[in-house]
Structure 1
């Protein structure tokens, strides 16, 4: 059995400050109250506050100006895709936007994989597709499905597609338990995905892109309906 992590005071404080930023209590461009005031208000030490600040600075939500104070960063204008996992956990509304990008990028990747994949990569795709059918649980099927899409991205020969694919999956995998419905039946999940891999293996770029769009649209609809 895996030991569950315990939340520390720093974890809790980071979460509360993050929520205050994302809900607009501390809007972009504003300065947080002085450290002593904040620490007293939350009932923590300034050392604990500094640790929480450090995490939020690393996450791209805060920036510190020496001698001036700590300011909320305009993450919507300046932030990168690495913020997506945090934003999805904060608000499910982000998931629909992630899926919109997933659909467009996924179709493009499948088409490029059909045009660029090697025989070895095609064999890997066939093997990973069968792993979807062989998985024993909804979560297992879902994770096996993810590996197929990672392999499709690698088969394009373009490492940026790989990073984009990882970013999109990282955005919603933390909440995947709420999005498992398309994967509870391994045979059905396999049947939905098979046309994509078949087209890629045949080298049919147009058919691969169309099959991927159909697949991603169908799974997206099921996941979003279940989420509602």
Structure 2
């Protein structure tokens, strides 16, 4: 095994171990080699190794049992959505499945928001939508668009929808710069999203779901085209 650069030693070791787990070099259910052997192989101290282990335990990829050892966790069976950003970094192929969930959750949230949104929440949605049109540059427009979706989730009155929305957007973070296509033109981005907000504020659940589905499908096509995955 190649010695890791010292300037980012824990980060580099965490990344290397994570990659070895996700590629199956350390299979699910298997125990990692003894700490001294691993540390020597990577050219790090056992303290550094323990720090990297701690991060991977927190991420849900490893579990450590005192006196037994460190085992690779069955993250596909036991892991949560918080693993998505890491999995997307490992394999962009996860994006297709994330987009599928994005479409269904987005439509569900819009329909629910149409039933529950208050006048104050509609005013907030329209203000945030105006920011999308006024933003300059793909990244600011993309971030402004995200805030509209967060507000839509809040308007449902269900905090779980808000957390799900946050999780899906966090999953995009590793690839965000490659998914900026739908946001390069502020006016076009505003025009795609406006029907969702207007249907929600009109209290029309069916129209809100349809508008959200159209928005999600249109932006997904642009994003996948930018990634060369269509």
Q: Which bin holds the TM-score, normalised by the shorter protein? A: over 0.9
Matches of 2:174 and 2:166, distance apart in 1: 13
2:181 aligns with: 181
Matched ranges for 1:80-119 at <5 A = 80-119=80-119
CA RMSD across the alignment: 1.0
Matched ranges for 1:1-228 at <5 A = 8-228=8-228
Number of residue-to-residue matches in the alignment: 223
TM-score of the aligned structures, taking structure 2 as reference length: 0.95
Q: Deviations over 1:130-153 (max 9, x none)?
A: 100011110000000000000000
What is the SS of the residue equivalent to 1:178?
A: helix
Matches of 2:41 and 2:7, distance apart in 1: 20
What is the SS of the residue equivalent to 2:151?
A: helix
Matches of 1:7 and 1:72, distance apart in 2: 27
Matches of 2:59 and 2:159, distance apart in 1: 24
Q: Deviations over 1:6-49 (max 9, x none)?
A: 96201110100000001110011000011111011001111111
Matches of 1:64 and 1:219, distance apart in 2: 42
What is the SS of the residue equivalent to 2:71?
A: strand
TM-score of the aligned structures, taking structure 1 as reference length: 0.96
What is the SS of the residue equivalent to 2:125?
A: helix
Matches of 2:20 and 2:70, distance apart in 1: 14
User: 1:174 offset after TM fit, Å?
Assistant: 3.0
Matches of 1:142 and 1:150, distance apart in 2: 13
Matches of 1:68 and 1:112, distance apart in 2: 49
Matches of 1:112 and 1:39, distance apart in 2: 52
User: 1:62 offset after TM fit, Å?
Assistant: 0.3
User: 1:72 offset after TM fit, Å?
Assistant: 0.2
Matches of 2:32 and 2:212, distance apart in 1: 46
Q: Deviations over 1:78-129 (max 9, x none)?
A: 0000101111111100111111001000000001111100000000000010
Q: Would you identify which runs of 4 or more consecutive aligned residues in structure 1 move more than 3 Å?
A: none
2:3 aligns with: none
User: Structure 2 regions of 5+ residues with no counterpart?
Assistant: 1-5
Matches of 2:167 and 2:118, distance apart in 1: 24
1:3 aligns with: none
Matches of 1:18 and 1:173, distance apart in 2: 18
